[in-house]
Amino acid sequence: MHMDTWATVDSMLPYTLMGVVNVTPDSFSDGGAFEDHVAAIAHARRLASEGASIIDVGGESTRPGADPVPPSDELERTIPVVEGIAGLHLPIQVSIDTMKLEVAEAAIDAGASYVNDVSAFRHDPDLASLVADRGVDCCLMHMLGEPRTMQQDPQYVDVVDDVKAFLHERLTVATNAGIKEERIQLDPGIGFGKTLEHNLELLRRLDELTTLGRPLVVGTSRKSFLGRITGRDVTERVYATVATSVIAFERGARVFRVHDVAATADALAVTAATFGQWRVIPTRTTTTRTT
């Protein structure tokens, strides 16, 4: 059953939680934890019970330095899980985290109604046409280069301006391909070809991206820049993730891709209760920029 996420967000909560289900052996945070299809489906059910309204299923790690995965492997890992989650008939959307046309098409056939493409349709331009033709939702993310090389000395003139220009260009590509604008969400790609300083600058100035007019997706969950700040292992970064989610919400983000759904849901419930009267973020008189 297709579910209109944006209508749901507007009528119920001012934010959406996207729970992560990685069915890969090498993801940076939970690689190998849910390779078993039954375990992955059970985990998805648990994330939904904790407050996730989108379940994002990924079969290819996009951690820094990751090698590409053949479509056959990705299909074998993800499609039974997508089909199993869709078969639960929960009031959620199933998302497929992929750059590949073949995988996205099979996932949609299996019940997915959201395509999360970290390449923003650059890896496989025909994926935009598929999303348009099938009338599903999508997320377009900024990434410098590809996962294998993205952390090799990333450089920007101004990271926020550069990311904003990229997302505007990819939004135009998507709508020109026939995707309805209301079907598109945008992700600045925190941790994807960015230094610690770049990531923090994006969080500080996230409000500048809201002028693109589409819901902003933020995925900081358990990422290495949080470990650099806190000194904590990847399994101990839930509090840091929650902090960045609260900051991002106040700056205008409305979709949060996280591993730890319950903790983030509680934090955002309090944040939304406090700031819920504001349909947009408060106007700031100044914006601090690093040089």
Any idea where the domains of the chain sit in the sequence? 15-274
Identity of the amino acid at 33: A
CA atoms of 201 and 199, how far apart (whole Å):
5
pLDDT (tens, 9 = 90+) of the chain, 291 residues, equals 333 333 333 346 899 999 999 998 744 454 445 568 999 999 999 999 999 999 999 999 876 666 778 999 999 999 999 999 999 999 999 999 999 999 999 999 999 999 999 999 999 999 999 999 999 999 999 998 776 666 677 789 999 999 999 999 999 999 999 999 999 999 999 999 999 999 999 999 999 999 999 999 999 999 999 999 999 999 999 999 999 999 999 999 999 999 999 999 999 999 998 886 554 444 443 344 443
* Active-site annotation, residues: 223, 257
pTM value is: 0.87
Residues 29-48: tens digit of each pLDDT: 544 455 689 999 999 999 99
For the domain 15-274, what is the CATH superfamily, name and number?
Answer: Dihydropteroate synthase-like (3.20.20.20)
What integer pLDDT is reported at residue 35 of this predicted model?
64
Cα→Cα distances 259→196, 202, 228, 256, Å: 20, 21, 19, 10
